[in-house]
Amino acid sequence: MVGPSRPLIVLFGSSIVQLCYFFNGWGATLTTCYARKADIFLRGYIGWNSRMALEVYKKIFPKEHCRDMHREIQPSLVILYFGGNDSQDPDFPNSSHVPLHEYVENMRKLAHHIKGLSEKTRLIMLSAPAVNEEQILKTYGDNRGRSNEVGQKYAEAGVKLGQELGVPVINFFEALYGKPGVFWDGMHLTAEGSKILFDKIKDVIKKADWEPTLDWDKMPTEYADIGTDMHLEMMIKETEDETIGITDSNSQELKPQ
């Protein structure tokens, strides 16, 4: 461990999570906003579905830490995303399909476990996303087993589950559907797509009445009494609107399955 301790935020999901630092991704922007305030842990796995997540979730989030002296290392916030691969056509070669009813129950188990990590562990769920079917076909030569007709059903079921559990849930399908320039391959996010998702997450965090707050603008800055954080605040503000690191021009070189 590196001290002093900070709140921990875990991003857990499939490729939308694993790639969230590419192309000025939503994970990169979130990390910049929480600089010197919280630590971001990336647990993203390309190609995974909710069934695969259930094989490891107790290792990623060991609940026994709640019962010993290390309780403080439990996450303050988990952003949970599965559904895109679950909604894949079962007849597509090597499909990651999970039937809708099983997907809902898998997500229910994950949510219950995460919420039970500690009294102050918060959860934000992302539903299954929309896709750009035409762009997928152009990029891969087939539809990758994806369709908005099926994806929407998984998204609606995910939103309903979040509401049932009293957990903030972002309708990822609705946020992306029909919008130009949000995917680089029809499935994975460009900088513009990531900005849409980041803004949705930001809106949830800013409006939440969580105690202690996870609004980065209201959280203490580590070692604020040493030097000045003026330049940091300027960089955070600029990063929300500007592309850093890898740009979209490189995106066609990356084709995760």
DSSP 142-164: S-TT--HHHHHHHHHHHHHHHHH
- Is the pLDDT confidence value at 71 over 50? no
Reduced to 3 states, what is the DSSP secondary structure of residue 81? strand
Question: Could you tell me if residue 39 is inside a domain?
Answer: yes
Catalytic residue from among 14, 15, 127, 194:
14
Q: Please state, in angstroms and rounded to a whole number, the distance separating the CA atoms of residues 19 and 146.
A: 19
Q: Please state, in angstroms and rounded to a whole number, the distance separating the CA atoms of residues 117 and 114.
A: 5
The average pLDDT across 147-160 equals 99
Q: How many CA atoms lie within 13 A of 154 on its CB side?
A: 33
The least confident of 5-19, 172-186, 219-233 is 219-233
Q: What is the mean pLDDT of the chain?
A: 90
- Is the pLDDT confidence value at 246 over 60? no
Q: Would you call 185 a catalytic residue per the annotation?
A: yes
**Residue matched to tokens 């087939």:** 142
Q: Would you call 241 a catalytic residue per the annotation?
A: no
The confidence band for 250, taking pLDDT boundaries of 50, 70 and 90, is very low
- Is the pLDDT confidence value at 59 over 80? yes
- Is the pLDDT confidence value at 254 over 60? no
pTM (2 d.p.): 0.88
Cβ partners under 8 Å of residue 88, min gap 6:
95, 96, 97, 144, 145, 146
Question: Could you tell me if residue 3 is inside a domain?
Answer: no
Q: Residue 236's domain is classified under what CATH number?
A: 3.40.50.1110
The average pLDDT across 17-45 equals 97
- Is the pLDDT confidence value at 105 over 50? yes
Q: How many CA atoms lie within 13 A of 10 on its CB side?
A: 18
Reduced to 3 states, what is the DSSP secondary structure of residue 11? strand
- Is the pLDDT confidence value at 128 over 50? yes
Q: Would you call 97 a catalytic residue per the annotation?
A: no
State the residue range of the domain holding 119: 8-253
Predicted pLDDT of residue 65: 53
Q: For 72-88, how does the pLDDT look when each residue is reduced to its tens digit (9 = 90+)?
A: 579 999 999 999 999 99
The confidence band for 64, taking pLDDT boundaries of 50, 70 and 90, is confident
Catalytic residue from among 15, 127, 188, 194:
188
Q: Give Cα 226 distance to the centre of its chain.
A: 33
Q: Please state, in angstroms and rounded to a whole number, the distance separating the CA atoms of residues 89 and 194.
A: 25
Q: For 200-245, how does the pLDDT look when each residue is reduced to its tens digit (9 = 90+)?
A: 999 999 999 999 999 999 999 999 888 765 665 666 666 555 544 4
The average pLDDT across 162-169 equals 98
The least confident of 67-81, 94-108, 132-146 is 67-81
Q: What are phi and psi of 80, to 5 degrees?
A: -110, 125
Reduced to 3 states, what is the DSSP secondary structure of residue 35? coil
Question: Could you tell me if residue 27 is inside a domain?
Answer: yes
Q: How far is CA 70 from CA 66, 73, 116, 132, 213, in A?
A: 7, 6, 15, 45, 21
Count: domains in the chain = 1
The average pLDDT across 112-128 equals 97
Catalytic residue from among 50, 185, 194, 251:
185
The average pLDDT across 182-205 equals 98
